[in-house]
Chains A and B, each alone.
Chain A
Amino acid sequence: MSAAEKSFLALWLPRLSTDRLRRTRTDLPPARPVAMTRTVGTGVFVAACDQAATDAGVAPGVTLASARALAPTVTATEMDETADAALLQRLAGWCDRYSPLVGTAGGDRILIEATGAAHLFGGAQAMLDDARARLRAAGFCAAGAYAPSPSAAAALARFGADGRVVERRVDLPEALKEAPVAALALAEPALDPETSVGLQRVGLRRLGDLYGLPRAALSARFGAAAASALDRLLARTAQPITPRRPVAPWRVRLSFPDPIGLRGDIDAAVERLVDRLCQRLSAENLGCRRLELTAFRADGAAQTVTLGTGRPVRERARLLRLLAEKLDAIEPGFGIDCLILAAPRVEPFESDQLSGGLDAGGAGGRDPDLFAALVDRLANRLGGENVFRLAPADSRLPDAAQAKAPCVAPRRRGRALQEPPWPETPSRPVRLLAQPQTLQPLSAPKAGEPLSAFRLDGRRCAVRIAVGPERIAPDWWREDAAWAAGARDYWRVEDETGRRYWIYRDGVAGPLADALGDGAGRQHWYLHGLFD
């Protein structure tokens, strides 16, 4: 089985945890040795160390006491794998600038699928050198290589061929000849660690030593994993990388020879990106529903702003207007050297968009496109959960009888879905309290009779008109804390000033009422809504 000719860029960050510490602790002098420790039982061991500590003879695995003996000035800090992993993910995010397909491996490697991307950077060597130089400038100890398989690139970077570019598969065996057999583990994470020890015990120290062996013998002696790992390393079988996130097929990028920082420059760049994206979307008759703009800063940070739209959009002016409000969130810092605009969610653009949804229900001569644009702007600034329409929900309980619905109605096969009508009910208030408010009853009516007076917010209200009761019982099979007291008798009452209230008495039926003897003596009254 042969794999199509692909290419990958691997970056190895051997001192990620100490580099991370140095980035946060700028007070550490560069010559001061740094070690990360891990406590196992009562012993404190060095888990990782920087170049200065290595030079002093410290190596991972020694106790902290021996490390202090070797390098008395060593700064030791407890290992923080979570922070290291988060940093690696951030760096991988920053590598999106090179390709949309970026993955991480082993806690210290970033793998980038560079197929078809190298020409954007002036060739494979230039791309590789760019990545290494940028990481080093940002304070990371980094090695990198470029090869037709991700594990081969990682092996080259890891085992002394930093900066090496192997473009053709046929050149791989020669390039990897001198790599130790431990490199097999890079291709097959499930490989038994004993395998490389076993290989070395029989005198097979280099990958080159394995080339001549019959595949069957290798599998029989060291397991099928060893043979398949070698195949992957030499790109005989395809080895895809697991991307950090789904790749947006619709993306455009713009990189700047000199980092930009002025708002005017950023605006102009975003305009060019939007132009290009809109052209591509128009060509395919698509509109975007989500848009992501990522700014890659010269200092290795990447910032992303996201926006969503209610309908597929591909009008340049509208996207620019939505983006303009989000651009404030981008901190240029020392300058932005690359911008990528991606549309992770696209949908067919419908030219009959002008009908359907709310805009069909009651456009009344207004431009529905303006309406969709307004809703998008509000939702992007205030949050989608704060801009909504009210739609009927399937419940008899007053507080659950309405639900939030999107402002622009969903569509199926280009036609707006018909919304169910509001159910016919007795009179309902126009405003409802999220939490019913306790009323102080000033009379003690019998069950089924209304209050004659109550006190609300310190004001005495004499009931002039009362309509009811309307008994609403919870579904007995549902547990709902608000309805724990059982059925409610709702009343529509008007006080002597003409204010109209929707009030209820709870515990009028159900287990609680039964326990209290029909709840006759229980006077729990609440205000739930207002009619004006």
Chain B
Amino acid sequence: MSEYRASLFRNGTSEDASLAASPSLERLRVEIARIERAGAAAGAPAGLPLGWETVDDAFPDGVLAATGVHEAAGPAAHGFALRILARCKGPVMWVHPARSRWALYGPGLARLGGALAGRLVVVRARSRDEGLWAAEEGLRSGALDGLALEPDGPIDLTASRRLQLAAEAGGALGLLLTGAQGGAAGAAVAPSAVASRWRIEPAPADISGPATTPRWRATLIRRRGGGSGEWLVEAPG
């Protein structure tokens, strides 16, 4: 088996030279450059500030592109996504697998502010493809300000690009929750076309003041247009 792999690898490297010159690869590069430009420069609509001074100060134009898909991983990714949806103004949507044992809880959402519980539509998808379809429809429709997708399975490059294009077409902010492990820094991460990639982990609450302040450790792993960082931020209580 290992021998077979090794020969495959050799074949791969020997073909690299011819691939580099192939016209199809060149076309792809142009295409990628075009998409990147569309997101960064032309898609100038102001980004969404997160309401955390330390983060917002580092990105005066708003750290989250308001039209684009952002990936969030880590144990507190759900809370992060809900907080962002609470900061959107209009109707928002949450797509999650129907078989999930967790459900969003209205009394908790109501405490996030922004009348989130009243304008949030919950969609339960019975399969990965249904979830992707619903998310794409929602982002593209132009009726939503934000949408979060808990996918029922891995999201490949094609799927994430489709979501990104849908978000650009509909002028919506998408959030892709890639589970507790996905998107870990340094780990082998599936390539994706998202506008930024985050990892949100809980951090011990600040108990120095009169009231305890729950906290998250927010890590910006990658961002289209540049930037990364790690911040200790206040989590919604």
Contact = CB atoms under 8 A, between A and B. Distances in A.
**Top 5 A-B pairs ranked by shortest CB distance?**
A532-B79, A364-B90, A364-B89, A498-B202, A422-B110
Contacts of A498: 201-205, 214-216
A496 interface: yes
B207 A390 contact: no
Contacts of B76: 499, 532
A529 B125 CA distance: 22
A366 B207 contact: no
A430 B78 contact: yes
Contact of A390 (B88, B120, B143): B120
30 contacts: A358-B119, A358-B121, A362-B90, A362-B118, A362-B119, A363-B90, A364-B89, A366-B144, A370-B142, A374-B137, A378-B138, A381-B130, A382-B126, A387-B121, A390-B120, A390-B122, A401-B107, A402-B107, A428-B107, A430-B82, A431-B105, A432-B102, A464-B204, A464-B205, A494-B204, A497-B203, A498-B205, A500-B202, A532-B78, A532-B236
B82 to A, nearest CB: 6
Interface string B112-123: 100101111111
For A370, A373, A390, A529, the residue with the greatest tally of chain B CB atoms inside 10 Å of its CB is: A390
B140 to A, nearest CB: 9
Interface string B142-158: 11110000000000000
Nearest to A377: B137
Nearest to A387: B123
B186 interface: no
Contacts of A94: none
B90 A366 contact: yes
Given A362-B91, A378-B138, A431 B143 contact: no
B235 interface: yes
A75 to B, nearest CB: 45
Given A364-B89, A381-B130, A434-B102, 20 more contacts: A358-B118, A358-B119, A361-B119, A364-B88, A367-B143, A371-B91, A374-B144, A386-B125, A390-B109, A392-B110, A407-B121, A419-B118, A430-B105, A431-B102, A431-B105, A433-B103, A465-B212, A494-B204, A497-B201, A500-B214
A433 B100 CA distance: 9
For B88, B112, B123, B216, the residue with the greatest tally of chain A CB atoms inside 10 Å of its CB is: B123
A382 to B, nearest CB: 6
Interface string B83-103: 000001111000000100111
B118 A494 contact: no
A421 B106 CA distance: 11
A401 B117 CA distance: 13
Contact of A465 (B75, B120, B205): B205
Contact of B121 (A375, A377, A530): A375
Given A364-B90, A430-B78, A434-B103, A373 B237 contact: no
A80 B120 CA distance: 51
A359 B119 CA distance: 8
Interface of A: 358-359, 361-368, 370-371, 373-375, 377-378, 381-382, 386-392, 398, 401-402, 407, 419, 421-423, 425, 427-435, 464-465, 494, 496-500, 529-532
Contacts of B110: 392, 421-422, 428
The majority secondary structure among interface residues of chain B is mixed
Contacts of B123: 378, 382, 386-387
The number of chain B residues touching the other chain, given as a range, is: 35 or more
B143 A427 contact: no
Interface string B198-224: 001111110100001011100000000
Contacts of A425: 107
A436 B107 CA distance: 17
Given A494-B205, A499-B202, A532-B202, A433 B107 contact: no
A382 B124 contact: yes
Nearest to A392: B106
A218 B176 CA distance: 82
B106 to A, nearest CB: 4
A531 B124 CA distance: 21
Interface of B: 75-76, 78-80, 82, 88-91, 98, 101-112, 115, 117-126, 130, 133-134, 137-138, 141-145, 200-205, 207, 212, 214-216, 235-237
B202 A358 contact: no
For A364, A407, A496, A532, the residue with the greatest tally of chain B CB atoms inside 10 Å of its CB is: A532
Given A359-B91, A382-B134, A531-B79, A390 B204 contact: no
A401 B115 contact: no
A401 B204 contact: no
A532 B75 contact: yes
B214 A390 contact: no
Given A374-B144, A386-B123, A500-B202, A363 B102 contact: no
A269 to B, nearest CB: 26
Contact of B101 (A364, A419, A433, A465): A433
A497 B202 contact: yes
A371 B107 contact: no
Contacts of A465: 205, 207, 212
Contact of A388 (B105, B122, B137, B236): B122
Contact of B145 (A364, A499, A530): A364
A432 B79 contact: no
Contact of B115 (A361, A388, A429): A361
Given A378-B134, A386-B98, A431-B78, A402 B207 contact: no
A428 B137 contact: no
A59 to B, nearest CB: 54
A494 B214 contact: yes
A521 B146 CA distance: 49
